[in-house]
Structure 1
Amino acid sequence: MNYCEKIHYAIYTTGVDSFELMADALLAQLPQDGHILRLVFFGTPVDNAQYVARRAILHDKVRELFADCRPVLSYVSQPALDGKLTLEVHSYRADDTDRIDYRMNNGFPYVVLENPDGRFLFAGGFHCDIMTFSIQQQSVEVFRLVSEVLHREGFPIENIIRQWNYIERITEFEGFDQHYQMFNNVRSNFYKQAAWSNGYPAATGIGTNLGGVLVDIDAAVFTRPGCFATPIDNKLQIAAHAYSAEVLEAAHEQKATPKFERAKSMTFDGRKLIYISGTAAIRGEESLTDVGFERQLHITMENIAQLIDRAQLKMLRVYLKEKKYYKEARELLNNYRLNIPIAYMCADVCRNELLIEIEGIAIG
C-alpha cells in the first residue's frame, strides 16, 4: 500500500452537553486502527477568554489520552451546524515501511512521517498568545512559529503542500486595513523567502468569529522520482496569486495577492491525493453575484470537479455565510450522492458577496 491507501479522514459530531463531555464524546469515537495525525475541533465559544480556556481543556484531554504521542491539535471558532461540537480526524494506517514520530515545539505538537516515498510533516494549531494584538501582529508571530518547525525538521518553505488559514472576522477592517488583506500581506512577505518553483500550497483562508489567527500545514519532501507534488489550475478561474488589484481589499502598507493554488496534488506512482483549496462561485477573478445560493453551490461544485478530474472525493468541509442555508446545502449536496464525511460550519467567506465556500480532499 502507498500513502493514498493509508491516509484516512473522518468527521464526528455530538449534541448539546457541557464542553468537557462533548469533547470526551468525540474523542471516544477516534479510530483505533491507525495513528492519529491531526485533530481539528470546531465549536462556538462566547468570547476569546472562553476560547482560550476551551483550547486549554482540549490540550489537557489530548495530552491525557495520547501522552507523548500527541497529534496536531487545532480549535477553530466556527459554529458547527450538524452538531454542537465537530471533530475532523486525519489518521494513517502505517506498515513496517513507515516511521512515525510525535514531536513538540514551543508547546505545539506535530508529527513527522518517514517512509521510502519521502518525509511528511503534519503541524498546526499555530497561534499568537496575545489575543489583543492586531491581525497583522498575530500573523507575523504565527508564521514565525511555522518557520521554526519547518527549519527544525528540514522542510523548505516551498515544500508546504496544504495550508489552512483561519482569521478572526476575516472581512472586517482595523482602520484602513482589512483583516484578510493584512494576513495576505504577512503571508506574502513570509513566502518571499522561497522561490516556489513548483507552485504555492493549496490553501483555505476562512473567517472565524473568535480566536485571532490560526494556521495548520501539511508539508512533504519526496525522495524518489515516482513521488512528487503538482499545482493544479482551474481553467475557469484566474489563479488567486494572479488576481488584479481591483479584487483585492484596502491595505495601508501593501496589497499582496492571496498566495495559493486552486488545488495541489501529491502523486505516488499511479495514485494521487488532491488537496482542494477553499473553493467558491468565482469565474475568472469575479464572484458570481445575484444568482442565489443554489447556483453558487453548483458553480462551486463545478469548480471542484474541474480540479479533481476523475479522482474521488473523500471529505468535504462546507462553510456557509449564514446558518439559514444549512438545510438547503445538505439537501443539494445529498443529490450528488457522494457518501463521504461532510462537515458544515457557519463562517465568513473572504468576499462578502459569497454565500458558500467548500474545500476537500480527493484520491485518484
Structure 2
Amino acid sequence: MIRKVCSDGVGYSVVDLTDVRHVFAAAVPRVSGDLVTQTWDALRTIESVMKEESTLGSIVHQVVFLADDSKLAECREVMREFYGPEFPATTYVPQKPCHGALVSIEALGVGRKKGDVTIERKSEQLVIASHNGVSWIHCAHVTPDPEVDGVYHQALNAFSKMRGILGSVGVDFAQVIRTWLYLGGIVEGEGDKQRYKELNRARADFYQNIRFLTNYLPVEKGAVYPASTGIGVDGHHLIMSCIAMKTDRRDIVAMPLENPRQTPAFGYGCQYGPKSPKFSRAMALSCGSYATIFISGTASITNSETRHIGDVEKQTEETLDNIAALVSEENLARHNLPRLGTTLDQLALVRVYIKNPEDYAKVKAICDRRLGEVPTIYAIADVCRPELLVEIEGVAFSHLSCDSGHC
C-alpha cells in the first residue's frame, strides 16, 4: 500500500488511495553554503520527487525547519520565488535540524492518479485540496498579534485567528482533525506558572463549547478532540497550524484513538496542570477499505507517568512501543474500526523531536531499526516535560484486512 524511497538528501512515501496519489517527502540539503543555497537545493530535491511521481505542482502543505529564526524572511522570499502562484500552506518552525543543516523541509503533494484533484490556493497560510467528495483544509503558520502578552492570551488570540481563517472558507473549527502547537520556552516558567500549562489552559477554554467531528463519529463518544502535537521551539514564539476536513459524504468515519498503555491526555490529574491537555492520542479517518491515522506527538509515558528518566534509548523504545500499540489491530477494533489496524512499517511520514543534540545518533539508530525506510525529519526541541528526551509523531495508513476469506 505504501511505497517508500530513501536516498541521499530525501526520503519519500507514495500512498495511492483509490484514485488519488499522496506523496510525503522529507528533504535535507545535499550541499553546504548559506541558507539560500541550502533551501534551493532542498526544494529542487522535492521538486524532482514530485515530478517523478507525477505530482508536480501538487504540494499543498509544507513545514520548513529553520536553524536560525532570524532568517525566516529570507527563507520566505526563496519560497515565493520558487513556488510562484503554486505556493503551499507553509509553516516555518524555529527548530534546528539534527543533521547540522540550516534548513529541512517536509512536504505533502496530492495529485491525480485517475481521479480529479482540485487545489485552491487561498494564501500562503491556507490551501484546500479536494478529491472524491472530501476537502482537506491546510491552515499554516498562525501566530498571535504582537501586542498580546502572556502565553494564555496569546494562545486564545492565535486560536481565534485560526478559527477566522477557516471560517473565511466556510469551515467550522469543529471540523479540525489535527493541530500543531509550537511554543518557545515550553517548560519555562511564566511568573508562577509554566508556559506549557498556560497553553493547555487556553486550549481547554477555547475548546470548551466545541463539539468536534460530531457528523463523522460512528458511535456516541464522550470527549472528542483533534490529534495534536505541542512541542518546543527556539525563542519564545507561539506558532500554530492545523488540518480540517469538510465533506457531505456519509461513509467517512472519524474516530479519536486513545492508547491502552496511556491515560488519555485530557484525563491527566491536576499535578500536570490546572487544565489537562485537550487532544486525542491519534485521529483515525476511514473511508471504505482505507484508513489514515494522524498520530499525535508521543513520548515515553505510560499511564500518565514519565518512564526511563535520563535514558534516551529506553525512552525512544517506549515511545515507539506506544505508537505500535496505538495503531494496532487490537486498538482499532477496540475503537469500532475492526480490521483497520496497522503496524510501524506502515508509517508514511515521521517527525522525531530530540531534546539534546548529542542524542541524535542513538535515537536515529533505534528509529532506523524499528521503522525502516520512512521519510523522517529529526529536529532539536524541548518536549512538554523537562525529563522527556524525545517525542515522535507521524501519519500511518491501513487497508482493510481480510478474515475467513471475506473482506
**TM-score, length of structure 1 as denominator length:** 0.90
Partners of 2:66 and 2:72 within 8 A in 1: no
What letter is aligned with 2:283? K
Structural RMSD (CA): 2.0
CA contact (8 A) 1:59 1:73 kept: no
Of 97, 109, 130, which aligns to 1:91? 109
Matches within 5 A, 1:66-215: 66-84=83-101, 85-94=103-112, 95-104=114-123, 108-128=124-144, 130=146, 133-196=149-212, 197=214, 199-210=224-235, 212-215=237-240
**What secondary structure does 1:360 align onto?**
strand
Q: 1:222 to 1:83 in 2, by over 3 A?
A: farther
Query: Which SS does the other structure have where 1:184 is aligned?
Result: helix
**1:353 aligns to what SS in structure 2?**
coil
1:256: which partner in 2?
A: 275
Structure 2 counterpart of 1:13, one-letter code: V
3-state DSSP of counterpart to 2:161: helix
Equivalent position SS for 1:67 = helix
How many equivalent residue pairs? 349
CA-CA distance at 1:173 after TM superposition: 1.1
1:336 partnered with 2:356? no
Comparing 146-155 with 286-295, greater Cα deviation is found at: 286-295
Secondary structure of residue in 2 paired with 1:188: helix
- What runs of 5+ residues in structure 1 fail to find an aligned partner? 46-50, 249-254
**How far off is 1:69 after superposition?**
2.7
The reply on whether 1:37 has 2:60 as its aligned counterpart is yes
Q: Which residue of 2 aligns with 1:323?
A: 357
Cα distance in 2 for residues equivalent to 1:4 and 1:75: 31
User: Does structure 1 residue 356 correspond to structure 2 residue 398?
Assistant: no
TM-score, length-normalised on structure 2?
0.81
Q: In the alignment, which residue of structure 2 is the partner of 1:48?
A: none
Q: Distance in 2 between matches of 1:278 and 1:153?
A: 28
**Are the counterparts in 2 of residues 70 and 109 from structure 1 also a CA contact under 8 Å?**
no
Deviation at 1:82, TM superposition (A): 2.1
Q: For the residues of structure 2 that align with 1:154 and 1:57, how far apart are their CA atoms? A: 33
Find the residue that maps to 1:183 and give its secondary structure: helix
Q: Residues 241 and 294 (structure 1 numbering): CA distance in 2 closer, same or farther, change over 3 Å?
A: same
Question: By how many angstroms is 1:143 displaced?
Answer: 1.2
Q: Which segment drifts farther, 152-161 or 354-363?
A: 152-161
What is the letter of the counterpart of residue 260 of structure 2?
Answer: K
- Specify the code of the residue in structure 2 equivalent to 1:205: G
Task: After TM superposition, give the deviation of residue 247 of structure 1 in Å.
Answer: 2.1
1:161-193 Cα offsets, whole Å, 9 max, x none, are 111110001000110121111111222222124
Cα drift, residue 230 of structure 1: 1.0
Contact residue 184 and residue 233 of structure 2 kept, 8 A: yes
CA contact (8 A) 1:11 1:343 kept: yes
The sequence identity of aligned pairs, in percent, is 26
The Cα offsets for residues 289-336 of structure 1, whole Å up to 9 and x where unpaired, read as 436222111111010001122241111111111011111111112222
The verdict on how the C-alpha distance between 1:131 and 1:319 changes in structure 2, with shifts beyond 3 A counting, is farther
**By how many angstroms is 1:5 displaced?**
5.4
- Quickly say closer, same or farther: Cα 1:173–1:336, change in 2 above 3 A: same
Aligned counterparts of 2:266 and 2:21: Cα–Cα separation in 1: 32
Post-superposition offset of 1:117: 3.2
Q: Please give the alpha-carbon distance, in whole angstroms, between the structure 2 residues aligned to 1:210 and 1:3.
A: 43
**Superimposed CA distance per residue, residues 218-251 of structure 1 (whole angstroms, 9 cap, x where no aligned partner):** 1102322222211111011011011110222xxx
Q: Which of the residues 284, 296, 305 maps onto 2:315?
A: 296
Q: Are the structure 2 counterparts of residues 263 and 348 from structure 1 closer, same or farther at C-alpha, using a change threshold of 3 Å?
A: same
- CA–CA separation in structure 2 for the residues paired with 1:262 and 1:290: 22
Q: Any conservation in 2 of the 1:165–1:203 contact (CA below 8 Å)?
A: yes
Distance 2:260 2:153 in 1: 36
Aligned to 1:65: 82
Deviation readout 1:48-98 (Å, 9 max, x if unpaired): xxx2x5222232222222233311111111111124121111111135432
Which residue identity is paired with 1:98? V
* Cα distance in 2, alignment partners of residues 328 and 23 from structure 1: 27
Contact 1:205 1:278 in 2 (8 A): yes
Q: Pick from 253, 263, 278: which aligns with 1:238?
A: 263
Contact conserved, 2:177 with 2:245, CA < 8 A, in 1? yes
Measured after TM superposition, the shift of residue 342 of structure 1 is 1.5
CA distance in 2, matches of 1:343, 1:123: 20
CA shift, 1:39, in A, is: 1.6
One-letter amino acid of the structure 2 residue matched with residue 272 of structure 1: A
- Secondary structure of the structure 1 residue equivalent to 2:96: coil
SS in 2 for 1:290: coil
Residues 290 and 346 from structure 1, CA distance in 2 versus in 1: closer, same or farther, beyond 3 angstroms?
Answer: same
1:133-164 Cα shifts (integer Å, max 9, x gaps): 43233323311220111211222212111111
Contact 1:136/1:182 (<8 A) preserved: yes
Equivalent residue, structure 1, for 2:17: 2
- Which residue is 1:347 aligned to? 381
Inter-partner Cα distance in structure 1 for 2:350 and 2:95: 16
2:43 corresponding residue in structure 1 = 27
**Match among 239, 257, 274 for residue 293 of structure 2:** 274
Contact 2:35 2:75 in 1 (8 A): no
Secondary structure of 1:10 counterpart: strand
Quote the offset at 1:209 in angstroms.
1.4
